[in-house]
A and B are shown apart, each in its own frame.
Chain A
Amino acid sequence: MKEWQFNPYHQRIDEAMETTQTPPPADTEWELWEVFQQVRRGEHHQHVGAVHAPDPEMALVLAKENFVRRGQAVNLWVVPSSCIYATSYEDSDIFQQGSDKSYREVWGYRGFRQSRVAKIKDGGKDGEG
């Protein structure tokens, strides 16, 4: 019986060792595309990362391969990264709220409502405090 031998030749190691001692130069400088994934219909697209590609079709193919290998998606967007305009983290104070704006928040109305309703039910009076 012929003895079984491991054959690494499909990786062509011998050939590689003989022919490719000098590295080939990198030959792509593809544009960057930001990828947005929509998990279910009706939901927002969400940013998941970016891919390099020479055109939008290829960017979509690569986005699918990179980001939807598992999990689900119903739709993908790709947008050239150069088209993204962003605020600066340095200026993040623009998001700070200068004064008390609790009146525009749900939590600004928490708690005391229940006790006021209870008072009313008890026949008590509740005036503006």
Chain B
Amino acid sequence: MTDEERLQQFEARIAAGDKIEPGDWMPELYKKQLIRLIHQHANSEIMGALPEGTWIPYAPNFKRKLALMAKVQDEVGHGQLLYRAAETLGKTREQMTEELLSGKSKYSNVFNYPCETWADIGIIGWLVDGAAVINQTLMSEGSYGPYSRALKRICLEESFHIKQGYDIVITLMSGTRAQQAMVQDALNRWWWPIIMFFGPHDKDSVHTETLMRWGVKPKSNDEQRQEFLSKFLPKIWELGLTVPDPEIRIDETGFVHFTDPDWNEFYAVINGGGPMGPERLAVRRLSYQETVWVRRAVEGKRVGPVPQMA
């Protein structure tokens, strides 16, 4: 069979809703794009644990602390599932770890912003995870079997994340004026990073076309952003919150009109210019370095000197 025929067969299978499995023939570009995408997704789960992890010691009560720990732990578990899915395409987990630590491979911009108050934990859980679930639910219908199966499992857990975030927001919004103001402040700061979360407009998105053609990504960035806005805006307004965009409105067809975010910021943050970019990676490296002894202990080897704690 020629590659041309194989490609036809491959595309026919995708069109028929078939899942592609690791041993199957696939175009090099499909494989390359999937590795890039799943690797970045896995990195995001791991790095996503950092901003929220910051707040575990400061949780306002024990129940919130347990819930936040469970959420952060979930995210790390999702990272493991996703690295595994990417590995099925031939890249080792060690390679992916190295590329994350060296800054060669990316993760979601949204985790390079600081988490300043407890209300940020509510907004992140509710809206950042809300955005992530919209994205991941769609992607879980995608054409690559191992990724699709990992995402199905992940989405089940993410729904708890949204609920715990929403619950924090509702609790603060039914509290004092100062608490309400704290939520509004958090929303103001997170709004633009969340709008940018879905990536550049379709016309500027370099990877979207390939990903959509081969059924990896069932809906475009702009379509996902619309879905998110029309689902969450009414809920935001319902709580008496506003978003920092004077132009935003839902028209009679249900379409959400909004101001374009500053895409220069988006590209700057991707390339390491985020307010917390260098710190996040440094913390990740430190943590990797200091857990050498855990990996050695697991292997049943002598642990050696425990790293000096400052």
Interface residues of A (CB under 8 A from B): 6, 8, 10-13, 15-17, 19-21, 23-29, 49-55, 58, 65-66, 69-70, 88-89
Asked whether any CB of chain A lies closer than 8 Å to the CB of B234, the reply is no
Asked whether any CB of chain A lies closer than 8 Å to the CB of B54, the reply is yes
Interface residues of B (CB under 8 A from A): 21, 23-24, 50, 53-54, 57-58, 73-74, 77, 80-81, 84, 92-95, 97-98, 101-103, 116-117, 149-150, 153, 156-157, 278-279, 282-283, 285-286, 288-289, 292, 295, 298-300, 310
Establish whether residues B286 and A28, one from each chain, have CB atoms under 8 Å apart when the complex forms: no
Q: Given A24-B292, A27-B292 in contact, is the A13-B92 Cβ separation under 8 Å?
A: no
Establish whether residues B289 and A89, one from each chain, have CB atoms under 8 Å apart when the complex forms: no
Q: Given A26-B95, A52-B93 in contact, is the A13-B282 Cβ separation under 8 Å?
A: yes
Establish whether residues A65 and B77, one from each chain, have CB atoms under 8 Å apart when the complex forms: yes
Measured CB to CB, the closest approach of chain A to B284, in angstroms, equals 8
Q: Which residue of A lies closest to B292 (CB)?
A: A27
Give Cα A62 to B53, complex, Å: 21
Establish whether residues A29 and B286, one from each chain, have CB atoms under 8 Å apart when the complex forms: no
Q: Contact partner of B286 among A10, A15, A27, A52, CB < 8 A?
A: A15
**B-chain residues with CB within 8 Å of residue A19 when the two chains form the complex:** 286
Q: Given A10-B57, A88-B23 in contact, is the A20-B300 Cβ separation under 8 Å?
A: no
Measured CB to CB, the closest approach of chain A to B297, in angstroms, equals 10
Establish whether residues B77 and A12, one from each chain, have CB atoms under 8 Å apart when the complex forms: no
